[in-house]
Amino acid sequence: MQIRRLLALISLMTLAASTATAQEPDWAAASKETLAHLQTMIRLNTVNPPGNEMQVAKFLDSTLKAAGIETHLFEPAAGRAAFVARLKGNGSKQ
């Protein structure tokens, strides 16, 4: 996964809980939390081969579920991961 995509995903994880309110996010807190999540994922051994991405997928799964985000974690092959998360909208165009 490219680092930009990873950072965007982490930022979404961090801000997901604040989307329910119309208040401006606490960007300093979001930045700190994003950095902590990124550091945790970088420390996980995901070297390919053999492709140990399941560790990161499980981390993302538990972190997003704790924030109330719907997730689905699949293991198409031993130790390999496919991960999907869905942020539900309210149908508005805003």
Pull the structure tokens for residue 18. 């604040």
Which residues form the domain of 63? 3-18+27-86
Looking at residue 22, what is its pLDDT? 64
What amino acid occupies position 13?
M
What does the alpha-carbon distance between residue 66 and residue 43 come to, in Å, rounded to a whole number? 21
Domain presence at residue 32? yes
Report which of 93, 60, 58 is spatially closest to residue 79, judged by C-alpha positions. 58
- Confidence check: pLDDT of 17 > 60: no
Domain presence at residue 91? no
- Confidence check: pLDDT of 54 > 70: yes
What does the alpha-carbon distance between residue 83 and residue 14 come to, in Å, rounded to a whole number? 18
Domain presence at residue 94? no
Domain presence at residue 9? yes
Confidence of residue 46 (pLDDT cuts 50, 70, 90): confident
Give me the chain's average pLDDT, please: 83
- Strand-pairing partners, residue 56, are none
What does the alpha-carbon distance between residue 72 and residue 84 come to, in Å, rounded to a whole number? 5
Domain presence at residue 40? yes
* pTM, entire model: 0.69
Q: Is 83 helix (H, G, I), strand (E, B) or coil?
A: strand
Domain presence at residue 55? yes
Domain total for the chain?
Answer: 1
Domain presence at residue 68? yes
- Taking only the tens place, the pLDDT of each residue in 56-81 is 999 999 999 999 999 999 998 887 88
